[in-house]
Amino acid sequence: MVGVIVGYEMGSRQAQSVKVTSIADEKDVSLKKLEEVYNYLEERYVDEVAFEGLTDEAIHDALKALDPHSYYIAADEVKAFNDRLDGRYYGLGMESLTVDDRVIVRRIYPGTPASDVDVRRGDEILAIDSFSLVGLDDEGRQALMERFRAYRNREIQLTLRRSTGEVDRVRLTKSFVGVPSIDASLMVNEQTGYIRIKRFSSETYREFMAVLEDLCENQGMVHLIIDVRDNPGGYLKQVIDILSQFYDEKDVVLTTTQGINSRKLEYKSTGKPFYVIENIAVLINENSASGSEVLAGAIQDTDRGVIIGSTSFGKGLVQERYELVDGAEIRLTTSRYFTPSGRSIQKSYPSATRSSADTTESYVSSNGRSLDVHCGVVPDVYVKDSLWTDELERLFLSCYYDEAALSADSAAVVGLIRDCMISRTSQTVEEGSLTRRTILEQLPPGEAWQELYKTDPHIQTAIDHLETPSLLQSVLLQTEESL
């Protein structure tokens, strides 16, 4: 022990006190300190140091300490990350998930390699080429899937166990797969249309206009319900382009962004909508974030429509993309966004900047009605979300992908899953929520919502408000409702 201490003392240098007098000085001292640590690692550390990985970890942790939404992307992950954000990826055209240590095919996209060779929903992936997935722990499975994702321009063999128990092998090659950001559009009655946007990718505005054209020109839509429940956000430009379709007036402020090092920018309507849409309802929940909140906040503040659901997530920060010397990227929070009335909906978070939400200000809409200031967008009409917990979701998936449930007649599936879930949990399994969740798992989203809208309380509340003038005015004008 004495030798260790003596050795440490002999190898150390005399620390010197540095007085920091400005932000520039603080930065210089911090960089110098980091350089000194790396020098010590290179000269004195017991083993060889992998500096690239160490730097990646350091940058990741530094950004994480700033706010919840700044992050680092390693060079070898950038392309796949950006492809996913753009709604496309290089793959087989299927979604999979791990259920009870089994990797299960959950969804197949039409016109993709997986659909071409008859991969089916509910198939268990037993092996990729000669590498078995059976019996692997989470770390081993993740390592194998990472290897699989790195495959390029080569044929892949999947070993599958079908829901019937039969084992098949299929061979296929990856290609670029486009995943639509709008997964449902339909008329819920003669006057009112419904569009569900699951994220704002680089193609969302184009997809939105395509379905809007069909609803308006071919199906006679007058009113519109926009569903952004569980939508995590995406590209701001796509949100602004969609919002512009709802305003006849030019230069209506839709959102504003500003930061200490970013000038104030106002995003305004073009005044050139392609279609006439009378009344609008936006459906939100606690998982509606970022771009979804920009959309809901603009509609609410300008009294262009009614917001229905539960208070949204509370992400009012804007990230920009910056490339680093080795091809890695950071997504850095550069500004806050504000709704047209000036509200910031960012919730408080522990960070190096000690940020906290300010809810002391008061704001009003275009019609002069008082707006709630909160961590997120507070709906005009509250509709309780289903009490479907993460624990229930895991249990549901485990029971749903049990072979008995997959091979059962569709009418009996809900009963089988209910009995399975009740046997494994002390929580109450509400029948309506279970039926809804089963339909969403069984059918593609477009087909599922054709069945679900009649029993969805959010959609039915939206229809009531859109098609009852006095009810809508009671919200937007804060008048007494008189039916």
- pLDDT-derived band of residue 338, with 50, 70 and 90 as boundaries? very high
Asked whether the beta carbons of 137 and 129 are under 8 A apart, the reply is: no
In angstroms, the CA 442 to CA 457 distance is 21
In tens, the pLDDT along 323-333 reads 999 899 999 99
Q: What is the pLDDT of residue 7?
A: 40
Q: What is the mean pLDDT of residues 156-177?
A: 90
- pLDDT-derived band of residue 349, with 50, 70 and 90 as boundaries? confident
Q: What is the pLDDT of residue 224?
A: 98
What is the set of domains in the chain, with CATH numbers? 91-178 (2.30.42.10), 182-385+457-476 (3.90.226.10)
Q: How many C-beta neighbours within 10 Å does residue 337 have? A: 25
Instruction: Report which listed range, 133-147, 168-182, 243-257, 442-456, is most confident.
Output: 243-257
- Considering only 13-17, 74-78, 162-166, 389-393, which range has the smallest mean pLDDT? 13-17
For residues 392-412, one letter each, b for 16 or more C-beta atoms within 10 angstroms of the residue's C-beta and e for the rest, the string is beebbbbbbbbeebbeeeeee
Q: What is the pLDDT of residue 9?
A: 39
- pLDDT-derived band of residue 79, with 50, 70 and 90 as boundaries? confident
Q: Which residue has the higher pLDDT, 250 or 390?
A: 250
Q: Which residue has the higher pLDDT, 284 or 481?
A: 284
- Judged against a pLDDT cut of 70, whether residue 412 lies above it is answered with yes
Q: Which residue has the higher pLDDT, 196 or 76?
A: 196
Maximum CA pair distance of the chain? 89
Q: What is the mean pLDDT of residues 343-371?
A: 77
In angstroms, the CA 164 to CA 407 distance is 7
- Judged against a pLDDT cut of 50, whether residue 136 lies above it is answered with yes
Structure tokens at 45: 């550390």
User: Is 391 in a helix, a strand, or coil?
Assistant: helix
- Considering only 270-284, 299-313, 364-378, which range has the smallest mean pLDDT? 364-378
Q: What is the mean pLDDT of residues 252-266?
A: 94
Give the list of residues 6+ apart from residue 356 with CB closer than 8 angstroms, or none.
348
- Considering only 182-186, 188-192, 199-203, 353-357, which range has the smallest mean pLDDT? 353-357
- Considering only 250-254, 266-270, 438-442, which range has the smallest mean pLDDT? 438-442
Q: Which residue has the higher pLDDT, 306 or 374?
A: 306
Whole-Å CA distances, 228 to 198, 199, 345, 460: 6, 8, 17, 16
Q: How many C-beta neighbours within 10 Å does residue 330 have? A: 18
Q: What is the pLDDT of residue 241?
A: 98
Q: What is the pLDDT of residue 1?
A: 40
In tens, the pLDDT along 30-42 reads 889 988 988 998 8
- Judged against a pLDDT cut of 80, whether residue 295 lies above it is answered with yes
- Judged against a pLDDT cut of 70, whether residue 417 lies above it is answered with yes
User: Average pLDDT over the chain, rounded to whole?
Assistant: 87
- Nearest C-alpha neighbor of 441 from the set 111, 99, 89: 99
Q: Which residue has the higher pLDDT, 70 or 149?
A: 70
Q: What is the pLDDT of residue 451?
A: 93
Q: What is the mean pLDDT of residues 114-125?
A: 91
- pLDDT-derived band of residue 290, with 50, 70 and 90 as boundaries? very high
Q: What is the mean pLDDT of residues 349-358?
A: 57
Q: What is the pLDDT of residue 251?
A: 96
Q: What is the mean pLDDT of residues 416-433?
A: 87
